[in-house]
Each structure stands twice: as structure tokens, then as C-alpha cells.
Structure 1
Amino acid sequence: MRIWIDAAPAQASARVFGLSLVERIERLTRRIPSAQVTVDRGPGAAGRRLKAFAAGGPEPILAVDGAGVFDSRLLPFLAARDGSVAVTGGEGPRRAAAMRIGSAAALAAVPDDAAGLGEIADAAVTGGAARRLEPTEFPTFVMGLRRDLPYHLERLPDAAARRAYERFLFWSNYKGSTDFLTRWVFPLAVWPLTRLATAIRLHPNWITLAGVVLALAAVPLFMAGWVWTSIVMCWVMAVLDSVDGKVARVTMTESAIGNFLDHGLDIVHPPLWYLGWAWWLSDGALEHPAFIAAIWLCGFYVADRLVLAVPKALWGRGLHAMDRIDSLVRTVISRRNVNLLIFTLGLALGAPVAAFYVVTVWAGATLAWHAGRTAWLAATRPRVVAAT
């Protein structure tokens, strides 16, 4: 598909999370198969420039306002539609637009003297040469974030609007259901670290790699008795685990290797931590009750992972995105951050063994809840595969 970015407006050079608005759009277009991108910086009316570009070939065109900010899902979705489709968002100076031009009639409807894509889109829709994208057409559920998010697009006319948009983008990339530490405590560090990483253009994979090193190095340190050093490393890793995903999503730098490292680490490191904690607590005696508890804890962990795969297979979304109660329960269930907090408090109070037993019991209770909840939903709710 041929893609035309109108970069003539002065706002197109404004920056959001370290990237100019045109750079952001160019990164989004990489998600469109066979994209051929042209950045048009003028001069002249947008209508004439768009028609001149269209004369270069008969293929459909995706025309994008270079001064706008777009939901990362919107342009690929728009490009995949049939015919001619326009989408607009924002009001007054914040109005932005994009349009798929799929017919000669839609191109002919472009006014020569149109100043911007908003005017072009309105003329095509009013003249019947294009239709407007309806919000109800757009699949809002995001599997990776376990939440529904309507698409957004707008212009950012000033620095205040850009700062507000960065905040919006940051919070919209939080998962809809997560533990209370990730949602309410970690952002105090994640926000400035995300700002810093994007300002210096640090690739999120480097942040993920730092988390991998910290998570794995903490295990032998704990076993060797460097308890508080290891605990600090665990907490830093937990924070970085929020930072890398935010940086990747707000800068559109997600990658297969990044996802593999991030999700692979999330699966592997918790049981390693638990076994490392048990080794220190038991002085390496495998028959010690703490080590036996660790075996149970790891078993609960694996079983819980398997149970949580069932809702994704049956309903196309994770259990914690099914109903409000599931999202609320997710804030306190047995997961790495909650377990780390319980164990840290136990260390601070001089009762690490008791804390470890609490973590084990809480993991068992979490498994029982998830299994019971999944069974109840399977018996009462028909299978529905949601769009992602």
C-alpha cells in the first residue's frame, strides 16, 4: 500500500516521548504489509499535493495527517478496510484525520485547495465518495493489556497538550488488571524512568536484558546469604519489568526478541526465586519443611499457569479480564510482586520462614480460586472468541 504523510504542518515536528509526530507515524506504518511511505513536507495546499502523489500509481492510498497522534492499532486497521474510509478525531485545533483512498471517485472528491486532511476527509464523506469509520467497527479488546480501549487520534497544538498526551499514553498502556503494586506504587518510579529512557532513545530490549540479569543473579546471591542485596535486586527488576513494556509501547519498538525475553523471564524466574529463598531458609537441607513448601509452591505456580490458559482458549481473553470481580481479585492474588512483598515484610520482621509459608498457602488459595472460577464460567457462559 502507498502511504502519504502530510508533514507540512509545523506541528509535525513536535515530539512525544522523544519522537517527532512524523517519526511516530512512520513507525506505525511498519505494521502495514508492503507499505511504501512518502513524507510530504509541502509547500502548497494539501489537496493539490495529495493529488500529485496519487498520480504516481493506481494502488490504494493511506493518507495520514503528519501533525496527528494515532492509536497504534488504528492505521493498520484503516489500511486493511475495503474501499474508501475516513477517520477523524479531536475538535478545533486538535482535529486530526486519516483516510484510505480506494477509488477514483474518492480521489476526485479531494478539493484542490484543501488545507489539511480533515477538510479532505469531510469533503469525501459529504460527497458520498467515502464513508466514515464507525467506532463500533473497531475491535477494542487488547489481549496483551487485558482491557478494552477505543481508538484515539488528535492533534497536539501546544506543549501542554503534548504533556497531557504523554500521560494519557503512559496510563493507557497499563494492563486493565494487575497487582496493586504495579498499578499504584511502581508508577512513582516507572513514569520518570520511561521519560528518561525515551529521551535518550534507550531501546526497551536493553531494559529487559537488565531485568533478566538482575532476576537471575538474585538467585545465587540469596542462596549465598546476600539476602538484602538479592531482595533489592528483585525489587529493581520488578520495576524494570514495568518500564520496558511501557517504553516499547509508547515508542512502537515492540519486537519478537523483546517479547520472548520479557515473557520468558516472567514465566521462569518466580520458581527460581522461590527455590533460592527455600535453599537459604533450609541451609540447603532438602528435607527441611521450607524446601518442601517450595516444592508445593512451585507446583501451585505451574498448575495455576495451566488453569489460566483455559479462559484464553474458551473465551479469547484472560480470566482476569472476564468480569469486574476477576479484575479486582487480580490486585492481590499470588503473583511475583505480591509474594515478594510478603517475603520482604517477613524478612524485615525477622520471620522469613513464616512469611514463606504464607506465600505458599496464598499460592494454593489462588490456584483454588482460579480453578473454581474457571469451572463456574465454563458451566455458565458460552464460548466466545473475542477479537484482539
Structure 2
Amino acid sequence: MNPPESPRQPLRPSPSAPATLGVVIGRNPTRLWGMSSTERLNRSLKIAGVKDIRSFDRLGDAVDDLAGGSVVIVSNDWVFDVSIIKGLAIRPNTVIIDGETQRAVAANVDAALLSAVIALIERGQGSLPAEVQPLSAEDVGGNYNHELRKKESPYLLRLTPETLAAVERRMFSGSYKGVTDFVTKFWWPRPAEVVTRWCSHGGMSPNQVTLIGFIAVLISFWAFWNGHYLLGLASGWLMTFLDTVDGKLARVTLTSSPMGNVFDHGIDLIHPPFWWWAWIVGLVAYGTPTPYADLALWVILIGYVVQRVLEGIFMSLFDMHVHVWRRFDSFFRLITARRNPNLVILTPFALVGRPDLGILLVALWTALSLVVHAVQILQGLAARRHGPLRSWLAA
């Protein structure tokens, strides 16, 4: 059974509220990221707005117990990207077909069509009712993740003990932002995957990881203030690593929360200028004071705030993150004067005993980055004369 040929852009569902009933079929003993497949599917359905969720070993035995209306059915033998479940929940009379096996793996159908669809999902037998449209995972989930700023097809993976390692790797990869700094993008993925797995199997929550990171923020501030730069850098690098782990842990286990989001992003937003302030204060205690300390401090603090304001202005003007507009903008996000690139500048200078030169270079790089962001806005205004701006990742 093949889904119809589809255009590059995902098909748009007609406006519809999420189905109110969700059903998980089957029993799968394979656990991923420390939880059962049923538990993850339940969380996915809740995120998609489905209120009433039930589980059956064999749905065919329970058809009579299901009320009328639209029912979302998902097979416990598969791992679905959340975007697929979200898309399916608002697409009545739709069946998702796995492209490799050509099996029906999930559906959103009226109760009257359950029997026919159940036979397809549970046994791979029968024909698809004429009222139901077969679609691929990409048709339903789309191929651009706005939240993570990347172009990527949603994953639909068979879950067995043999495929578990590959499934978890793909899920972890899918939790990564497509546009970020080069430390997060290229240095942290492998060790972060290992630690994320330890945390998930150990029952550690993302907020607990964030709390440890916050303690590291305070240790770094104290250490920089008193001129203990190597201690501060060790604690700071630990914080940046945990800042990667907590977000990935939340995404792979579907345990993100508004409170955790505010806690994590609030720390990320507020602490960097305090670190650079403490670094400059600590130069006296370390024995390398600089006559340009006040100037460097004001350049860094003002530059940090104005850079964030300019990013907000770009978003307000063009309804798009500045870092996803053109290839250059995504590249510049790798190295712009944010916390991790700044730490890369400061670390070697601290190691050779010249933290004063390191912070002066950070001030210079902050000023240059600010100029780039200002130019990006001017270029955006000029480009908008020829039509709305469009992200190169969504093309």
C-alpha cells in the first residue's frame, strides 16, 4: 500500500481540533530512554492534545468499548516523532504508511471505520476504506522543525531489541538544534548522548540537571571574581555541557515543562554578562589588571544586551530567527559572541596566564558581532522589498 505522491511541502490538514480519544495497540517490552514504548506514546498523544488515552494488547477485542467520534490509533511496535503524532491528531480519516515496510502503523479515523483500519495495523490485512487517505510520515509531520531550526524528516522507526541502539541514536540526533554554536554542534553530541542515557535510565529529570548547571554557574562566578580562572573555566565548561544534556533529556523523554523551560532559558539568558563582569573584576586579584577594563566591561555588557535586542527586532520584523535566514546567518551563529564561543577565546589565554588579553579579545569580538547583526537587519529590510523573507532551511 503506497501513499500518494506528495509535493515537497507537507500537505496541510483542514482546520480541526485534536481527536479526543487515543489508543495504543500492542505490548512492546523494549524500553527506550528508560521508559516503555507505551509510556512514550501516551506522552506524545498528550502533547498532541489528545485527552482520553487507552492501551490494549489487541484493539480488535475492544472496538465495542470505544465511543463514537475520531480515534487516533498508534502501534506500540513503532517510535514516532512527536511531530507525526501532532499532525495525525488533527487529520481525520488518515492512515500513516511506513515507507520501508508499506505497513499501516497509525491512523486517525471515525469509530465506524475502526474494524477495517485495525486489521491493517494489527495484521497488515485488508484494504483501506475509500474514506481514508494514506500518507507518509513526512506528509503528516512535515520536513522543517521550526522549534529546533532545522530541515529534517520526522523519524518513524521500528522498535525491537535489535534496533534499540539505532533508534535511540536517531532520537537523540533529532533532539538537537540545527542552528547553534560550534561547541554545542560539534563537540558535545557524543558525550552528551552518553550522559543523557545515564540520566534517563537513572530516573534523573531535566530540571535536576539544570539545577546542577545553575550551581556550576555560581561556582564560576565566584571563581572568576576571585581570579581563580582555571577553576571557573572548569565549572563553566561543565555548565555548558549540562546545558546541552538537560534539553536533550527533556526532548527524548518528552518531559519538557513550562517551568523547566523558563528555568533553563532564564539561566542561559542572564548569567553570561555576570561571568564576564566577574572575569574583569578578578584581573586585579590574579595580578593582570588592565587600564582598558572599564571599557571592555561596557562593550561586553552593552553589546550582549543590544545583540539580543537586535535578534528580537529581526524576529518582530520578519517573523523569523535571524540565524535561519541565509546560509551565512546560520554559519555566523556558530561563532557569534555568545557564551560558548567566548569561553573558547578565554580558555587558552587563561592557560598561558593572560586572562586580561582574553577578555579584551572577547570585547572586540562582541563589538564586531554587534555590527554584523545590525547589518543583517538592514539587509533584511532591503530584501523584503522584493517579497517576504524565507529561511534557506525551509526551501
By the TM > 0.5 criterion, same fold?
yes
Change (3 A) 1:318 1:166: same
Alignment of 1:268-347 (within 5 A): 268-282=270-284, 288-347=291-350
Alignment of 1:118-129 (within 5 A): 119=124, 123-124=127-128, 127-129=129-131
Residue by residue over 1:122-171, the C-alpha shift from the partner in whole angstroms, topping out at 9 and shown as x without a partner, is: 733xx312012353464443333111232222312342x21011111111
Per the alignment, residue 21 of structure 1 pairs with 37
In 2: Cα distance, 1:221 partner to 1:96 partner: 58
Q: Is the 8 A contact 1:90 1:154 kept in 2?
A: no
Change (3 A) 1:256 1:385: farther
1:62 maps to a residue whose letter is V
In 1: Cα distance, 2:305 partner to 2:135 partner: 44
Alpha-carbon distance, 1:336 to partner: 0.5
In 1: Cα distance, 2:143 partner to 2:313 partner: 22
* Equivalent residue for 1:74, pick from 73, 84, 93: 84
Alpha-carbon distance, 1:78 to partner: 1.0
Alpha-carbon distance, 1:187 to partner: 2.3
In 2: Cα distance, 1:136 partner to 1:313 partner: 29
Per the alignment, residue 24 of structure 2 pairs with 5
Change (3 A) 1:4 1:138: closer
Q: Is the 8 A contact 2:104 2:124 kept in 1?
A: no
Alpha-carbon distance, 1:118 to partner: 7.2
2:101 is the counterpart of 1:99: no
In 2: Cα distance, 1:351 partner to 1:174 partner: 35
1:101 maps to a residue whose letter is V
In 2: Cα distance, 1:51 partner to 1:184 partner: 49
Change (3 A) 1:351 1:98: same
Aligned residue pairs total: 369
Unaligned runs of 5+ in 1: none
Alpha-carbon distance, 1:317 to partner: 2.7
In 1: Cα distance, 2:261 partner to 2:57 partner: 35
Per the alignment, residue 85 of structure 1 pairs with 94
In 2: Cα distance, 1:182 partner to 1:152 partner: 22
Per the alignment, residue 251 of structure 2 pairs with 249
Change (3 A) 1:34 1:332: closer
* Equivalent residue for 2:232, pick from 227, 230, 233: 230
The share of aligned pairs that are identical, in percent, is 28
TM-score by length of structure 1 reads 0.88
Residue by residue over 1:340-385, the C-alpha shift from the partner in whole angstroms, topping out at 9 and shown as x without a partner, is: 1111111112221111111011011111111102210221133358
SS at match of 1:265: helix
2:114 maps to a residue whose letter is L
Q: Is the 8 A contact 1:282 1:290 kept in 2?
A: no
Alignment of 1:81-230 (within 5 A): 81=91, 83-92=92-101, 95=103, 97-102=105-110, 104=112, 106-107=113-114, 109-110=116-117, 114=119, 116-117=121-122, 119=124, 123-124=127-128, 127-133=129-135, 135-136=138-139, 138-159=141-162, 161-230=163-232
Alpha-carbon distance, 1:52 to partner: 3.0
Alpha-carbon distance, 1:198 to partner: 0.9
Per the alignment, residue 362 of structure 1 pairs with 365
Unaligned runs of 5+ in 2: 1-19
TM-score by length of structure 2 reads 0.86
SS at match of 2:82: coil
SS at match of 2:306: helix
Q: Is the 8 A contact 1:87 1:97 kept in 2?
A: yes
Q: Is the 8 A contact 1:307 1:370 kept in 2?
A: yes
Change (3 A) 1:355 1:326: same
